């Protein structure tokens, strides 16, 4: 069974539409999943919207933080919940409608492979494989992400071209094995590098990241500073100690 983990912080402009689009996939495609919101102390009406839809849809769960604890802590709580409750696959996606839900069936298909097994351990929706990209995203973010990913790939010797994508599907075994230390957006890079080091099989499929239309991005330039100690640590793990 699939768990879709969606961290959200003040996303009243998007969560309703996201729930609708996911409900459509469930109804049209017959894909089985539960949706797990990790609502991180939102001060707008995100909570009320989620609670309203929970009355209608038994497949929505709501993990609530009383105050804002950050994206990484929220993701980790959502993932722990999924592990504790026996889900086989864990999909992470943003709540701001920049990650098209229509891609989910394909991601599940890739991870399962033919006849239900033999697929991959992780499927990353990637901006940097053929057919992928970004649409209407501010130019500085496009360059930052592109240059950052090329840099991480070269320095850390990884194969994944979009190591920072927040739209990905993993087998539960990945999270049973890997412990994540990051406390902010850099958690995706940590997850990619550690997954490669453990030998998990990763598949990237193209996706176009759309620009956010509602609400505000919580990304701040100072978050970039977090990548420095993480990159150094991952470099050491990979090339000096050769283990975690
Ligand atoms: N739970 C939680 N989610 C967050 C936090 N910051 C951002 N998010 C969510 O993470 C996703 C990506 O954040 P966003 O602000 O869109 O960053 P960007 O896509 O890099 O510009 C969105 O779904 C946000 O609601 C946070 O502090 N806590
Ligand atoms: Mg966003």
Q: What is the DSSP letter of 58?
A: T
Across residues 46-55, what is the average pLDDT?
Answer: 98
Instruction: Label residue 240 by pLDDT band (50, 70, 90).
Output: confident
Q: Which residues pair with 133 in a beta bridge?
A: 208
In this predicted structure, what is the pLDDT of residue 30? 83
pLDDT value for 241: 79
For the residues 182-195, what does the mean pLDDT come to? 97
**135 conformational bin, left if phi > 0, alpha if psi -120 to 50, beta if neither:** beta
Over range 97-107, report the average pLDDT: 97
* pLDDT at 118 exceeding the cut of 70: no
- pLDDT, one tens digit per residue, over 129-177 is 999 999 999 999 999 999 999 999 999 999 999 999 999 999 999 999 9
Average pLDDT over every residue of 2-11: 98
**pLDDT surpassing 90 at residue 117:** no
Q: Which pLDDT belongs to residue 34?
A: 98
Query: What are the phi and psi torsion angles at 215 (to 5°)?
Result: 70, -170
Q: What is the DSSP string of 83-109?
A: HHTT-SEEEE--SSS-S-GGGHHHHHH
Span 219-228, mean pLDDT? Answer: 94
- Judged against a pLDDT cut of 90, whether residue 16 lies above it is answered with yes
CA of 128 to the centre of ligand 1 (A): 21
Ligand 1 centroid, distance to 201 Cα (angstroms): 27
Residue 126 DSSP symbol: E
Angle at the Cα of 67 (from 64 to 73), degrees rounded to 5? 70
Query: Ligand 1, residues 71, 134, 226: which to mutate, most atoms within 8 A of Cβ?
Result: 71
| Ligand 1 binding pocket includes 95 (Cβ within 6 Å) | yes
Can you give the pLDDT at residue 60?
98
Cα-to-centroid distance, 209 and ligand 2 (Å): 9
Q: Is the pLDDT of residue 179 over 90?
A: yes
Using CA atoms, how far residue 153 sits from 106, 158, 162, 203, 209, in Å, is: 25, 5, 9, 16, 20
Three-class DSSP category at 26: helix
Q: Please tell me the distance from the alpha carbon of residue 195 to that of residue 198, in angstroms, as a whole number.
A: 5
Alpha carbon distance 185, 101 (integer Å): 21
Mean pLDDT of all residues belonging to the chain: 95
* pLDDT value for 116: 55
d(C-alpha 165, C-alpha 186), whole Å: 10
- Assess contact for 6 and 38: CB atoms under 8 A: yes
If phi > 0 it is left, if psi is from -120 to 50 it is alpha, else beta; for residue 36 that is beta
Q: Which atom of ligand 1 is nearest to the CA of 39?
A: 1
Is residue 219 lining ligand 1, measured as CB closer than 6 Å? yes
- The closest alpha carbon to 125, from 155, 170, 84, 77, belongs to 170
β-pairing verdict for 122-126 and 2-8: unpaired
DSSP for 144-159, written as a single string: HHHHHHHHHHHHHT--
Share of the chain above pLDDT 90, in %: 92
Q: Quick one: average pLDDT of 64-69?
A: 97
Between strands 208-210 and 133-135, the pairing is parallel
170: Cβ–Cβ under 8 A, 6 or more apart, which residues? 89, 90, 91, 92, 121, 122, 123, 195
What the chain holds in terms of domains, given with CATH numbers, is 2-241 (3.90.550.10)
């Amino acid at each position: 069974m699939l768990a879709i983990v969606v961290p959200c912080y003040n996303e009243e402009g998007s969560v309703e539409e996201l729930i609708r689009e996911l409900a459509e996939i469930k109804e049209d495609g017959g894909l089985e999943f539960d949706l797990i919101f990790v609502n991180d102390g939102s001060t707008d009406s995100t909570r009320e919207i989620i609670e309203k839809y929970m009355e209608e849809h038994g497949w929505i769960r709501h993990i609530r933080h009383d105050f804002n604890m950050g994206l990484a802590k929220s993701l980790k709580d959502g993932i722990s919940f999924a592990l504790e409750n026996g889900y086989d696959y864990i999909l992470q996606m943003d709540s701001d409608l920049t990650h098209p839900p229509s891609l989910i069936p394909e991601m599940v298909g890739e991870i399962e492979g033919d006849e239900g097994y033999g697929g991959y351990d992780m499927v990353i929706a990637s901006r940097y494989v053929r057919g992928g990209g970004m649409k209407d995203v501010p130019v500085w973010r496009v360059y930052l992400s592109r240059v950052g990913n090329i840099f991480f790939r070269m320095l850390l010797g990884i194969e994944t071209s979009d190591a920072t994508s927040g739209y990905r599907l993993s087998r539960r075994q990945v999270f049973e094995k890997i412990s994540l230390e990051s406390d902010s957006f850099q958690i995706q890079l940590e997850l990619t590098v550690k997954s490669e080091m453990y030998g998990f099989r990763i598949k990237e499929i193209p996706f176009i990241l759309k620009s956010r239309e509602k609400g505000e991005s919580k990304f701040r330039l100072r978050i970039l500073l977090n990548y420095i100690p993480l990159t150094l640590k991952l470099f050491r793990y990979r090339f000096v100690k050769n283990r975690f």
